Amino acid sequence: MKIKFRVIRCQSGLLISLLRCAMAGVLMMGTLAQAADSRPRIGLVLGGGGARGAAHIGVLEVLEKLRIPVDCVAGTSMGALVAGSYAAGLTPAVMRTELSSADWHDMFQDNPPYSDLNYRNKRLSQRFLPGSETGVGENGVQYQTGVVTGQKVKLFFNQLVRSDFGERMIEQLPIPLSIIATDIGNGERVVFRDGSLTTAMRASMSVPGLLAPVETGGRKLVDGGLVDNVPILEVRERCQADVVIAVNVGSPLLDPKDVGSLLSVSAQMVNILTEQNVSRSLATLKSTDIYIKPDLDGITAGDFDRHAETADRGRKAAEGVVEQLKRLSVSDTQYAAWWAMIATAHRPAPRVDEIQIAEMKTVNPAAVERRITQPKGEVLDPAKLNRDLLRVYGDGYYESVDYHLLDGRERNILRVLPIEKSWGPDYMRFAVNLETNQSAGSTFSLRGAYHKTWMNSLGGEMIVGAEVGTRNQVGLEFYQPLDVQQRFFVEPAISIASESVNIFQNDQKIAEYKVEETAGTLALGANIGLLGQVRLGWRETDRRASLETGTPSLPSGSKRFGGWFATMDLDQMDRLYFPTKGWATRLNYFSSDENDYSKLYAEVRGSYPIGDVVLGGRVSYLNSPKGDLPIYDAGSLGGIFNLSAFAKGQLIGDEISFGQLRAEKIIGRLPLGLRGDMRFGMTFEAGKVNRRFTETELSGWQDSTTLYLGGETPMGPVYLGYAYSSSGSSNLYLFLGVP
């Protein structure tokens, strides 16, 4: 059947012309309806399967090539993402481009790059494991409900379906859409036929244990694959489909011999539940329906980096049933008319006239506003907005940070929607440190703290912490911003600590001292945006040293010293551990007039990627501009990545120069939801200590070459390596945890 369109030009102000325009519109809609009635109604079902869901795009490419219109679509999990994008008017080509260019490994890391964290949160990351955060609130101890909250995932969905034009509502989409999720509270099947498109997509993809559930309508929703992974009956009901095209990309059950770890057991349990409901769904297929199951052997639910290959396999599977599909084809004119109704309009980006921050229970909205750089009265920049919202999220107070664009006739309102952590506002934080090396034996410590946030409207915080093990410490610190923008702050702190310090002569341990220290500081500081921080203040220290074992080589007794200090820390590395690019610098100065000495420390670090190799370097210098450093405040070399062939603190002195060159090859990545790369690395280090405090033949410049394997784990960075010096010193070491 051919459809002919006749263009009628309407002249405003003339009643007869308006009537003609109305009649033309009715006539065109009637013609399209007649065309739809002359063919079978087609329902498309896109099943869940994680990264295997990219095969759906290949199927859509074949449907497009064959000119097959779709009357409704239903999807689950990754199928919900593709179905939602298709119903919103995205072409298969656009979807292939967008999903292929997405960094899914990064997307499953909620926080922005380390360089975009405020400096206080960088310091917290240096002291505690990010994944150890445990909420302490009115309801007692609470935990995060998933490894990933899905912040980057949700923002990606927003950008994919153009929510910057305004919230995309399912009931307003050109193709009727159903998205399946599961109520984790009662196991019920939940079907989205209206409401927020991106919220429904995010809910349907909430793999239990990996992605946190989505709370909406009083329910906590997770992956719809648990109850209806291939929703055939839903799409048949949704548009009274005469023909159902069902695409199944689900993962097969694991071989029993491969089920051993806790992760594999959990995955197998999910696969069993999924396969059971898929079997029931497939049993409802009719002889007139078309079933497509791509050959995805060797591709797992986490293989997002094989997106293009997976899409190609989906296209091949659809081409395998092309004769069945051909009978659903329509003419070029019919298909063009159908696509014209659903295609995403290419509109200019909207102007933002007003920015609103949703009210929160604890956090001052000004803390969100300071991160938003979108100018009022200018066109919305979605990429910049996503970056700003990630920076808001990176402040650490929010479970999610989303936005809605309220598109009005005269004013467009950008409404930022931060949701405070349900497990906050106070937290317990933890860290472990385990180091074993050939030269100095083993050390171990467990670190914990109670972190109280937003004690007042300016964002005052308190940390009460303790460390037990080789080093024992208790401490209290308070951080009080002085303005709403948190540009300036005051930070008092007090701590009591004790630890054992080894003393070496050449490569031999000759003594062990117990050092006890009580210290207090009062600092006035300024945050330099997200670049870093400067601090000026006073530090008072009482240090006591006593010989535990060995030969007395250093003075024992007590010493009290105090003075003013100034520090500047700038950090633009993209990661705390195993960075790939960026730079950082540190400058510390301390002056004790009563003890007639000063201490200067300067350090610069940097990293730069070349393919899958990361080059890095570090230089540092310590000196006493006034007087000589006393033994109780001296510097040292030795220990992992600080002249690694030598024991920690083996070389002690007044003036220290150090340089390091590093090359690391990325040899793998940890699974989704975990952190970082696995790397094989090599470092060359050189250091020199002048005015030594212990007798040694290791004078002048000392070198160290290290070979190591390393990676970032949920317990912190791990290193296994061997270091050798031309002086004859060597070290075999294992390190795990937070330094």
Burial 35-62 (b: 16+ CB within 10 A, else e): bbeebebbbbbbbbbbbbbbbbbbbbbb
Mean pLDDT of the chain: 87
69 by DSSP, 3-state: which?
Answer: coil
- As beta bridge partners, residue 214 has 221
User: 56 with 28: CB under 8 angstroms?
Assistant: no
77 in active site: yes
Q: What is the DSSP track for 258-291?
A: G--SHHHHHHHHHHHHHHHHHHHHHTT--TTSEE
Q: How many Cβ atoms are within 10 Å of 28's Cβ, its own excluded?
A: 15
Give which of 57, 121, 65 is closest to 95, Cα–Cα. 57
Higher-pLDDT residue of 376, 552: 376
What's the pLDDT tens digit per position in 489-518?
A: 999 999 999 988 888 877 778 888 888 999
What the block records as the tokens of 519 is 């210290």
Count of Cβ atoms closer than 10 Å to residue 377 Cβ: 8
Of 116, 164, 223, 388, which is the active-site residue? Answer: 223
> Which residue's entry shows tokens 């399967």?
49
pLDDT in tens, 563-600: 999 999 999 999 999 999 999 999 999 999 888 999 99
Instruction: Give the alpha-carbon dihedral of 196, 234, 57, 308, to 10 degrees.
Output: 90
- The confidence band for 6, taking pLDDT boundaries of 50, 70 and 90, is very low
713 is written with which tokens? 């784990």
CA 16, CA 310: separation in Å to the nearest integer?
56
Cβ–Cβ < 8 Å for 713, 702: no
Helices 151-160, 382-394: axis angle to 10 degrees equals: 170
Q: Sign of the C-alpha dihedral, residues 354, 355, 361, 364?
A: negative
Tokens for 677? 């790369």
What does the pLDDT read at residue 21?
A: 35
Q: Which two tokens stand for residue 435?
A: 């180091």
Residue 265 pLDDT greater than 80, yes or no: no
**pLDDT (tens digit per residue) in 212-263:** 899 988 899 999 999 999 999 999 999 999 999 999 998 877 667 666 554 5
Q: How many CB atoms lie within 10 A of CB 535?
A: 17
For residue 176, give the amino acid letter.
P
Could you count the other beta carbons within 10 Å of the beta carbon of residue 311?
25
pLDDT(646) > 50: yes
Rg (CA), the chain: 31
**pLDDT at residue 2 tops 70:** no
Region 52-67: what's the mean pLDDT?
96
Read off the pLDDT band of 15 (50, 70, 90): very low
Spatial distance between the Cα atoms of 42 and 242, rounded to a whole number of angstroms: 6
Q: Of the ranges 550-559, 609-618, 708-717, which one carries the lowest mean pLDDT score?
A: 550-559
User: Of 71, 77, 281, 644, which is the active-site residue?
Assistant: 77
The confidence band for 406, taking pLDDT boundaries of 50, 70 and 90, is: confident
What pairs with residue 32 in β-bridges? none
pLDDT for 27 beyond 50: no
CA dihedral 479, 481, 482, 488 (to 10 degrees): 100
Average of per-residue pLDDT across 415-423: 92
pLDDT of 669: 76
C-alpha–C-alpha distance, residues 610 and 580, integer Å: 9
By the 8 A CB rule, do 17 and 1 touch?
A: no
Q: Which stretch of DSSP H or E encloses residue 466? A: strand 461-469
Three-state DSSP state, 127: helix
Band of residue 33 on the pLDDT scale cut at 50, 70, 90: very low
Q: What are phi and psi of 370, to 5 degrees?
A: -65, -20
Separation CA 397–CA 419 (nearest Å): 9
Name the amino acid, one letter, at 642. Answer: N
Query: Would the pLDDT of 18 be above 50?
Result: no
22 vs 219, residue with greater confidence:
219
Residue 28: per-residue pLDDT: 37
Q: What is the pLDDT of residue 264?
A: 57
Phi-psi region of 379 (alpha: psi -120 to 50; beta: other; left: phi over 0): beta
How do beta strands 582-592 and 412-420 pair? unpaired
Indicate the pLDDT class of residue 344, thresholds 50, 70 and 90: low
Q: Which has more pLDDT, 632 or 115?
A: 115
Q: Residue 272's closest CA among 262, 260, 264, 284?
A: 264
pLDDT surpasses 50 at 433: yes
From CA 214, how far away is CA 200, in angstroms rounded? 9
Give phi and psi for 535, each to the nearest 5: -140, 145
Residues 472 and 451 sit within 8 Å (Cβ to Cβ): no
For range 82-100, the mean pLDDT: 92
Please state the separation of Cα 446 from the chain's center in Å: 26
Give the C-alpha separation, 716 to 739, whole Å.
Answer: 9
pLDDT given for residue 31 in this prediction: 39
Per-residue pLDDT band at 39 (split at 50, 70, 90): confident
pLDDT at 540 over 80: yes
Encoded amino acid at 387, one letter: R
Instruction: Give CA–CA dist 98/76, Å, rounded.
Output: 19
pTM here? 0.83
Q: What is the reported pLDDT for 671?
A: 64
Instruction: At 446, list the tokens.
Output: 């467990």
Distance CA 730, CA 71 (A): 71
Residue labelled with tokens 């004769």 = 323
Q: What pLDDT, on the 0 to 100 scale, is given for residue 672? A: 57
For residue 413 the two structure tokens come to: 């309102």
